[in-house]
Amino acid sequence: MSKDSIIHLKNITKEYPGVVANKNVDFQVNKGEIHALVGENGAGKSTLMKILYGIEQPTQGEIFINGEKQIISKVESAINLGIGMVHQEFTLVPSFTAPENIGLGQEPKNNQGLIDWKGLNKLVVDIAEKYGFKVDPGLKMIDASVGVQQRTEILKTLYRNANILILDEPTAVLTPQETDELFTVIRTLVDEGKTVIFITHKLREVMEIADRVTVMRAGEVQGVSEIKNTSISELASQMVGREVFLQVKKDEAKPGEEILNVEDLWVHDARGLLAVKGINLSINKGEIVGVAGVEGNGQSEFVEALTGLRKTSQGSIKYLGEDIASSSPKNIRRKKIAHIPEDRTNTGLNTQLSIWENLIGNSYFRRPLSTRGIFNLKKIAEHSNKLKEDFDIRAPNISLKVKSLSGGNQQKVVVARELSEDPVLTIASQPTRGVDIGNIEAIHEQLVQMRDEGGAVLLVSAELDEVMAVADRVAVMYEGQIVKWVNPKEVDQAQMGLYMAGIKE
């Protein structure tokens, strides 16, 4: 086995001030295999891969590539060693075409030293054909679908002669069908002699595509297994250190009167394109309505329209009988509509401010937190400390800046603030993104509790498991429309995948 070892990270430790991201990690990949690296957010997978790709330097430990010890001090060295990485956030230049992006920095030159664009286009098309995918050399990335962008990223590594491809959470933004296509590409790559490292936290995908798997938790390796000798539940318990329940415990919903009624809603996005195309939806007291779908199908614009962050172009949003379409966010909040935004760091929080300042963002103006425009710091501290306690925000004190909290605790600050004002309607968009499993459960329980106390909840999430487990009714969004309403108990993942890809019945 060891003679086939293409990568061996030996005894890697990486310390940041106050945090140990990797602790004595041993990670070994064989030539020609698909090796999954799994773990929760913050388990140290990304740090380990950054070390392999030369973005970070290990505090301690050695790297062996093809049996030879290497020091990878910068990305260029990693590329020269035949390592390529497709990041979770694509690194593409939007106004450049696929070949322009793929060739960037290493464009072929003609005799005059100028870039040979024709030669580059041909080169790119040839590589794409070899691995069985198509590429449109004239298409700018800004106009390309997520799947095409991802394939461009993969081609970029192949253009640079990568033999080892690191794919960081590649399926996070794909439909189940696009995921299948990606898996076909990955298998072709391996058939052509490449080695693939597949980072994910989706265990079902690990079982489907990988040959071997390394599980990490809290910066340490928990286990390495052959796929044929392991199971989802074994991997899951290694990942979180305990048995997980993907099920959310909840009783049957008891819907009451109608709270929100959206009728024929049309919304334009920032580029002036139609993002929401005639949505009809109603939410009743005491129920959680889910919106499933691959990201970028109008969910963001839909939520922005509901919360007053975006003007509507047509249709009505009736809340307790009153039309709130194109009303201001402040007005909408005053009517007890809470919003947990999808982008925690930019929309949900001011990360430069303290926990307490963030916690009173929606209530600072009311008594007793302030009187005649002056804060009552004592009352604010009481209020904030109570929320910190109730929502289990793990921080030494409430004066700490939010940016120093972990993603999960940051999200708890948002959730605590939003649920603290007894909302009638709660709009939760990707509420558990970047949150670890323990905290995901807590947030799900809070949403169910809101429901049981008579609140109405709209849950928009790209995590299919989440929507299916938490919501009572689910709308599937595709290209700005609701293509299907489902009862989450009566439909399976495969069917949902088809709906999410816009294939009805």
**Given the rule CB under 8 A, which residues bind another protein?**
75-76, 79, 87, 89, 91-96, 100-101, 104-107, 109, 113-115, 156, 266, 268, 270-274, 277-278, 313-314
Token pair, residue 202, equals: 């989706």
Nearer to another protein, 100 or 304 (CB): 100
The Cα 364–Cα 407 span in angstroms is: 24
In angstroms, what is the minimal distance from the CB of 262 to another protein?
A: 16
Nearer to another protein, 76 or 382 (CB): 76
The Cα 209–Cα 207 span in angstroms is: 6
In angstroms, what is the minimal distance from the CB of 277 to another protein?
A: 5
Amino acid at 110: N
Nearer to another protein, 162 or 235 (CB): 162
Token pair, residue 224, equals: 């390495």
β-sheet with 212-217: strand ranges across: 83-86, 164-168, 195-200, 34-38, 212-217, 220-226
Nearer to another protein, 162 or 283 (CB): 162
Element housing 475 (H / E): strand 473-478
In angstroms, what is the minimal distance from the CB of 483 to another protein?
A: 15
The Cα 492–Cα 127 span in angstroms is: 38
Nearest to 130 by CA among 78, 86, 194: 194
**Region at 44 (left for phi over 0; alpha for psi -120 to 50; beta for the rest):** left
Nearer to another protein, 106 or 184 (CB): 106
In DSSP notation, 104-119 reads TT---B-TTS-B-HHH
In angstroms, what is the minimal distance from the CB of 102 to another protein?
A: 9
Amino acid at 422: D
Buried b (16+ CB within 10 A) or exposed e, 360-395: bbbbeeeeebbeeeeeeeeebeebbbebbeebebeb
Nearer to another protein, 106 or 399 (CB): 106
In angstroms, what is the minimal distance from the CB of 46 to another protein?
A: 15
Nearer to another protein, 165 or 440 (CB): 165
Which residues are CB-neighbours of 272 under 8 A, at least 6 positions away? none
In angstroms, what is the minimal distance from the CB of 182 to another protein?
A: 20
In angstroms, what is the minimal distance from the CB of 84 to another protein?
A: 10
In angstroms, what is the minimal distance from the CB of 113 to another protein?
A: 7
Nearer to another protein, 15 or 263 (CB): 263
